[in-house]
Structure 1
Amino acid sequence: MHIKETDTLLFVGDSITDAGRDRGDFASLGDGYVNEIARTLRARAGDGPVPAVINRGVSGNRVYDLEARWTTDVIEHRPTVVTVKIGINDTWRLYDSRLASPVDEFEACLDRLLANTVRELSAQLVVITPFLLPVTPEQESWFEDLTPRIDAVLRAAAANGAQVVRADLAMRRAAETREAAELARDGVHPSPLGHRIVAEAWLAAVDSVAVAPDPQR
């Protein structure tokens, strides 16, 4: 697809999407990959019109939290492109709080959200895979839960015709030449460079216009 000036792009997810946005300011995009995508689209448009961009990320959310606010935070805005980034907290809470999110239940919930969006909107669906760049030995064990969860995300996306952004692969490739903490200080939350990598992966997967690499990288 190609992002058009008439599109409304809505991003929903956890803290990686939230990225410190001002909840009291509807136009706030935070300081993460959503803002990077918007900045790239503005730069490409020059003085011309640009698509509307809405950030509805909420720090700490798991997939069930998205379901509780899906109608008000997604459907009611009538977006034409809906991007979902969820899953790492469903894994993280298992290891720091023993709060389970069984992968089959996670997948069923995500599938419901995507299917509901297909029914309610004529929108392009985009799903960003969760990712982890371990910075402690303990985080290595998280892949036992996260890897099947990524597979679940891919299945739910395929079942609902969603475009997939493989952020897990993009971040892993970047970690081949950089320290993990340089890309995500705690293994989960991207640095400015990490957010730029996610943004470039989204633009490359979703928009047909080639994305020039950042000269600072």
Structure 2
Amino acid sequence: MQFTQDDRLLFIGDSVTDTGRDRADPASLGDGYVRMIAESLSSPATVVNKGLNGNRVYDLEARWATDVLGLAPSVVTVLIGINDTWRRYDRGLLSPVPEFEASFDRMLTLTTEKCAARLFVMTPFLLPAGPEQERWFEDLAPRTEAVLRTATAHGATVVRTDLALLRAAEVHGAAALAPDGVHPSALGHRVLADAWLAAAGVGRGPASSERL
């Protein structure tokens, strides 16, 4: 896929997307995969980061009209879900998968209806940093399936970041990619960026002519 100067690529999610962006500066991209993607594009497309640390799907939906629809993006990338799982185990805050899926579906439906944006959905991921995080998969696995179902129903391009990180962990080790199991290192962010670029048919440097 090729992007042009008329394209606005908007990325939205939690802290994995946020990565320390300056919220007072609309052009700030943070220090993670969003910046890496922007630096890899050969086109002058506008890239916007609307990640917000701590967000669950309900937080995302509450700000969707302002932070997504109000900016009229041509491409929207969503990465959400790990905090919906994490908060169950550290704070006892439940995010039932059917409610999570319904919220996710409403956001994608609005995006298609209001701005006809091309959708990219990145799967949530976990590289357990200890035995206590292994049990999170009982919550995360069905949540990931819900993300995949919703993405497929809306014709979104799916970016399997969970699988990409697992493959990378076989080479580098999980701790080198996400020391706490959730937040990627610079190397982990590079894996995320490369997974998105591959799904979009864009390599590092000149854009590919392949269209998905």
TM-score bin, normalised by smaller chain: over 0.9
User: 2:93 maps to which residue?
Assistant: 99
Superposed CA deviations along residues 155-192 of structure 1, whole A, max 9, x for unmatched, are 01011111100000000000111221110010000000
How high is the TM-score relative to the length of structure 1? 0.92
Q: Percent same amino acid at aligned positions?
A: 63
Kindly indicate whether residue 59 of structure 2 is the aligned counterpart of residue 65 of structure 1. Answer: yes
Amino acid at match of 1:143: F
Matched residue SS, 2:37: helix
Computed over aligned residues only, the root mean square deviation of the Cα atoms, in angstroms, reads: 1.0
Structure 1 gap ranges (5+):
213-217
Structure 2 gap ranges (5+):
206-212
User: 1:82 maps to which residue?
Assistant: 76
Hey, what's the Cα distance between the residues in 2 that align with 1:211 and 1:133?
25
Hey, what's the Cα distance between the residues in 1 that align with 2:165 and 2:82?
14
Q: 1:120 aligns with which of 114, 129, 132?
A: 114
| Contact 1:67–1:109 (CA under 8 A) maintained in structure 2 | yes
1:61-210 pair list within 5 angstroms: 61-206=55-200, 208-210=201-203
User: 2:23 maps to which residue?
Assistant: 23
Hey, what's the Cα distance between the residues in 1 that align with 2:193 and 2:37?
6
Hey, what's the Cα distance between the residues in 2 that align with 1:3 and 1:126?
14
| Contact 2:40–2:203 (CA under 8 A) maintained in structure 1 | no
User: 1:13 maps to which residue?
Assistant: 13
| Contact 2:20–2:30 (CA under 8 A) maintained in structure 1 | yes
Aligned residues: 205
Kindly indicate whether residue 31 of structure 2 is the aligned counterpart of residue 38 of structure 1. Answer: no
How high is the TM-score relative to the length of structure 2? 0.94
Superposed CA deviations along residues 64-123 of structure 1, whole A, max 9, x for unmatched, are 000100010000100000000000000000010110000111001000000011110121
| Contact 2:78–2:121 (CA under 8 A) maintained in structure 1 | yes
| Contact 2:82–2:125 (CA under 8 A) maintained in structure 1 | yes
User: 1:215 maps to which residue?
Assistant: none
Matched residue SS, 1:126: strand
Hey, what's the Cα distance between the residues in 1 that align with 2:202 and 2:82?
29
Hey, what's the Cα distance between the residues in 1 that align with 2:47 and 2:202?
18
